[in-house]
Amino acid sequence: MIDPMVILPYEYADRIEKCGKSYGYIDVRDDEPEGVYVVDGFTKGEGGGIHGASKWVGHRHYLAHAPRTPNTGFWYRVDHAIHEFGRAAAVRRGAVPLDTFRAAVDNGWIAPGNHQALVVTYADAPDNRREWAAWILDGAQAAVSRITMQVVHEQLPVLAPLIGHWPLLDLSDLQIAVVGTGSIGSAACDALIAYGIHRLALVDPQRLFLHNFARHRAHPSQLGRRKVIAERERLLDRDPTLDIEALPIDVIDDADVIRPLLDGADLVLVTSDGIESRRVANHLVSRV
């Protein structure tokens, strides 16, 4: 059995919390075979609301082109105890009785009928933060089961969850110059970004040819583009908060432009496949 997962963009969570109501409907885009559900709209009570306005869903999630079904589920403000009750029941693969769940709802109730419905709830946790949870409500069984949920902040860097566990803040101001963005260079860029490097300067004059895609990280749709441009877009697609400069210049022919770049870099990584380019880069770095 697939454990369903609900994704709630922070912009909707924030607006729901501030809307002045304690219940309403939600709009959902779904991938039923994968069990993925993305909230993309809500109503305030049973009246007006905001629908399909999430830029994150529209530009960053794979369900952007899935149909958005209005009023397909519900949201409620609840007592925090029901979140704990639901979590404990989920550990035993159990469910919460519908009457118990309804009693925890702050105010307002939409009758679910005898079908299944998606429900998201928020509560004031003991540590003064707002906590969200997601549920499958089964009207026929008169039971509510807690399921996996993620509240996604649209502007946070991909590595933000590692803050406090990895020296991201120490690495964020470092600038790394990568000379050569071929197959090795593209893999190196992935590794640098994954470790927390936020600023990259990419140097390579060459374009992407058919034979490059055997090992390059770029998609074949980028055929003909400058490697540094394709690489910048690929990395920004993963994390738009990155600071990446793309320089389609030659380390040999454009040494006068390269010198100040290398002088300002904290580290220079040379991944080009030519002996001459590696020698020149080494020469320039040793003299900046």
**What's the CATH number where 228 sits?**
3.40.50.720
In this structure, are 104 and 181 located in the same domain?
A: no
- Cα–Cα distances (Å) from 256 to 64, 106, 140, 284, in that order, read 45, 68, 74, 10
- pLDDT, average across residues 242-266: 90
In this structure, are 131 and 172 located in the same domain?
A: no
* Interatomic CA distance for residues 279 and 180, integer angstroms: 13
pTM equals: 0.79
Residue range 6-24, pLDDT digits in tens: 999 999 999 999 999 999 9
Burial class (CB in 10 A: 0-12, 13-18, 19+), 47: exposed
In this structure, are 191 and 84 located in the same domain?
A: no
Mean pLDDT rounded to a whole number for the chain: 91
In this structure, are 116 and 212 located in the same domain?
A: no
Domain boundary among 152, 185, 217: 152
In this structure, are 170 and 128 located in the same domain?
A: no
- pLDDT, average across residues 128-157: 91
Q: What residues make up the domain containing 209?
A: 160-286
In this structure, are 67 and 13 located in the same domain?
A: yes
Residue range 46-93, pLDDT digits in tens: 888 899 989 889 888 999 999 999 999 999 999 999 999 999 999 999
Residue range 151-199, pLDDT digits in tens: 998 776 777 777 777 777 778 789 999 999 999 999 999 999 988 899 9
In this structure, are 191 and 282 located in the same domain?
A: yes
